[in-house]
Chain A
Amino acid sequence: MRHLLSAGDLTRDEALLILDTARELAQVGERSVKKLPTLRGRTVVNLFYEDSTRTRISFEAAAKRMSADVINFSARGSSVSKGESLKDTALTLQAMGADGVVIRHSASGAARRLAEWVDGAVVNAGDGTHEHPTQALLDAFTMRERMGRLEGLRVAVVGDIRHSRVARSNVLLLNTLGAEVTLVAPPTLLPVSVDAWPCEVSYDFDEVLPKSDVVMMLRVQAERMNASFFPSAREYSRRYGLTAERFARMADHAIVMHPGPMIRGMEISAEVADSARSTVVEQVTNGVSVRMAVLYLLLGGAIQGPGHQGETR
């Protein structure tokens, strides 16, 4: 593993290694000294072109717990906002000796492009509507800790699948790990070729709900409402929101997940979000452990391969 760009790049063994490593590293968060010396002398750059305080903080905490030097490079107030290209920024990071770059970007594929321009390891922290592999890893980690397994676990992912990098990464990873995913959304919020995805699809939340071990709710962004993806927030919430009544019809052992930030009252009601079967807070905690594991596995050992400039461009 040289970069983490897509959850689909992970083999089953690699994914399990990350989850197992994260489980061991989770202990560090419970100790008096919440720090490991492992990445001392390594430099990790958080290159955030999109505002995402929670993801950035999670990566920053993960890197710092591993004793890496962390440089936060945000699009605001930097040369990026003056029109510097991603490539020039990449060359700058390269010159600064970044061993790892964590990138969040509004353009799909930005992480992949960056990986061609820097020698260090690139971690995709969300690229446009493409992928968010560490979110999928922390979701899988949370499911495994709560449910004790992933194999055969029935996971419903509900909401704006079409525009969701979280959904893409989750479908790929959960499929690799043997879970059974059902996507639930109005047809307008599903990708046109969703039949080719390794999962089931349903337009009917109520039918899927009682059969699910895990219900993962995705945020529906307000901008979708003005683009006729559905008639109104009220209708969406009525058909696809996790209301208290729907929550009551879930299996007793089933859990509710949400990658955050939540829109209470839209896709999830407040009482569901705050219930003991909601893993929202655990997901945040687990996010740090999973990102520690990813940074350790990418940067802790010998960094694999020389600069891969072999590709003809």
Chain B
Amino acid sequence: MTDTVRYLIRDARILGGERADLLLASGRIEAIGQGLSADGAEVVEAAGAVALPGLVDLHTHLREPGREDAETVATGSRAAAMGGYTAVFAMANTDPVADTAGVVEQVWRLGREAGYCDVYPVGAVTVGLKGEQLAELGAMADSPARVRVFSDDGMCVSDALLMRRALEYVKAFDGVIAQHAQEPRLTEGAQMNEGVVSDRLGLAGWPAVAEEAIIARDCLLAEHVGSRLHVCHVSTKGSVQIIRWAKSRGCDVTAEVTPHHLLLTDDLAESYDPVYKVNPPLRTAEDVQALREGLADGTIDIVATDHAPHPSEAKETEWSQAAMGMLGLETALSVVQHTMVDTGLLDWAGVAQRMSAVPARIGRAVDQGRPLAVGEPANITLYDPTATRVVDPAAMASKSRNSPYAGMTLPGRVLATFLRGVPTVLDGKIQ
């Protein structure tokens, strides 16, 4: 893999539209056109596959440092590449927590060493994610990792005053607070969506209002102080409605939805198999429908995976003892195709917006999420939407196996991923 090798992608459908060849050289797209000459370049036959700008995941857990048994920056970024990603934002809930310049710089460096995708560390909002005192946000922003996204993800910045201060403070370096919206008192011991299924299963409920109340408050706070707010993993119909309302008022809020919240519902918990345990929890079919509509109409800006690897012992246990979270990087595009494209809610240009351009813009990842145009960085995903596959966690690049889609047939396959002109995945295999 040296960047002196040039690649000619032959016969790709750019954003699912016109068929063209793309010539990649020196990390950039050198030419786009029909019948381009290979002229010594390595030829990659796309055979009508869809070319998308390299995907950007604003919400990934790479677990390093601290839980290298679940994932490392290297295995997680390989999983990202396999899923068509060229950039991921690594959440701060590591051990130690990424709440200092030292830790974010370490993660950033590990990402560069792995070389499978750009790893942007997310900085913690509060020291130790404890929600008591602001972390050194400015130091993280000024570090070589250039942190712009701050989140206590896993924990909610529930203290309204602290949230206000964080929103205000990051304005100094164009940062954004990505809030994990979960009112803590309303969700003490919560195990799954509160509703008919939780009542039947006797599992403590995680009510929708615990998410919606925080989102409403944060939107009003962001509006009041004129800051950027990003809402992580929106999961309820009510949240979609609140964000739609906030945007209509001019509030600078963006929001993400996970692939699993676009597809899976809370009745999967009937099996008590904790592979379906996630935070926020899987909701009802009505919520799923509202999330799809919200993503289609732009109320929800992006898809982010919340890829959350866990070792098997954290999942092969009683539901209430099990860890929350599920794998997502290697199935995200397939789930989005299944739920949004094949249903007619989005075209591939819309997918490119929501999985590449907009997440890059929110995270201020300057060389990511760029259009497929001459002179732009050659971050490209080739995806065959006509393929189908049965999801097999054992075959995944992630170190963990907790995929809720195990055994499901999903459409599509990532054929190749290029990071600045270099293939990280070719023929569906990691390079």
Contact = CB atoms under 8 A, between A and B. Distances in A.
Contact flag (A, B; Cβ within 8 A):
yes
Interface of A: 85-87, 105, 107-110, 112-113, 127-131, 165, 168, 191-194, 196-197, 312-313
A60 B307 CA distance: 46
Contacts of B202: 108-109, 127-131, 165, 168
A129 B199 CA distance: 9
A85 B316 contact: yes
B318 interface: yes
Contacts of B9: none
B208 to A, nearest CB: 11
B201 A109 contact: yes
B391 to A, nearest CB: 11
Contacts of A85: 313, 316-317
Interface in B361-409: 406-407
A113 B205 contact: no
B194 A312 contact: no
A83 to B, nearest CB: 11
B146 to A, nearest CB: 42
Given A108-B203, A193-B196, A312 B272 contact: no
A24 to B, nearest CB: 32
Contact of B318 (A109, A168, A193, A196): A109
B205 A192 contact: yes
A313 B200 CA distance: 24
Going nearest first, the 6 A-B pairs with the smallest beta carbon separation are: A109-B272, A130-B202, A107-B318, A191-B199, A129-B202, A108-B202
Contacts of B313: 85
A259 B320 CA distance: 25
Nearest to B319: A109
A310 B203 CA distance: 26
8 contacts: A87-B316, A112-B272, A113-B273, A130-B202, A168-B200, A192-B194, A192-B207, A196-B196
A172 to B, nearest CB: 9
Interface string B307-323: 00000010011111100
Given A165-B202, A168-B202, A192-B205, A312 B319 contact: no
A109 B322 CA distance: 12
A86 B319 CA distance: 11
Given A85-B316, A129-B204, A194-B199, 20 more contacts: A86-B318, A107-B318, A108-B203, A108-B320, A109-B201, A109-B203, A109-B319, A112-B271, A112-B272, A113-B318, A113-B319, A129-B202, A130-B203, A165-B202, A168-B200, A193-B195, A193-B199, A196-B196, A196-B199, A313-B406
Contact of B272 (A108, A129, A168, A192): A108
Contacts of A112: 271-272
Nearest to A85: B317
B407 A105 contact: no
B407 to A, nearest CB: 5
Nearest to B406: A312
A129 B189 CA distance: 13
Contacts of A165: 202
A248 to B, nearest CB: 34
B201 A108 contact: yes
Nearest to A163: B202
Contacts of B194: 192
Contact of B407 (A127, A193, A194, A312): A312
Contacts of B318: 86, 105, 107, 109-110, 113
Contacts of A109: 201-203, 272, 318-320
Q: Among B202, B271, B321, which residue has the most Cβ atoms of chain A within 10 A?
A: B202
A31 B205 CA distance: 49
A129 B273 CA distance: 17
Interface in B204-238: 204-205, 207
A131 B270 CA distance: 13
Contact of B317 (A86, A128, A168): A86
A313 B402 CA distance: 10
Contacts of A86: 317-318
B199 A128 contact: no
B201 A192 contact: no
A197 B319 CA distance: 23
A85 B317 CA distance: 7
A75 to B, nearest CB: 13
B381 to A, nearest CB: 29
Contacts of B195: 192-193
B197 to A, nearest CB: 8
Nearest to B269: A109
Q: Among A108, A110, A131, which residue has the most Cβ atoms of chain B within 10 A?
A: A108
Nearest to A172: B200
Nearest to A128: B202
Interface string B254-282: 00000000000000000111000000000
A313 B199 CA distance: 25
Q: Among B196, B198, B199, B207, which residue has the most Cβ atoms of chain A within 10 A?
A: B199
A300 to B, nearest CB: 28
Interface in B47-93: none
Contact of A107 (B200, B271, B316, B321): B321
Nearest to A111: B272
Interface string B180-203: 000000000001001110111111
A219 B237 CA distance: 37
B375 to A, nearest CB: 48
Contact of B320 (A128, A131, A191, A313): A128
A107 B320 contact: yes
Given A165-B202, A168-B202, A108 B319 contact: yes
A97 B199 CA distance: 35
Nearest to A164: B202
A188 B6 CA distance: 67
A282 B189 CA distance: 36
Interface string B104-124: 000000000000000000000
A48 to B, nearest CB: 15
B175 to A, nearest CB: 38
Contacts of B317: 85-87, 113
Contacts of A313: 273, 406
B201 A130 contact: yes
A129 B203 CA distance: 7
A30 B358 CA distance: 77
A130 B192 CA distance: 14
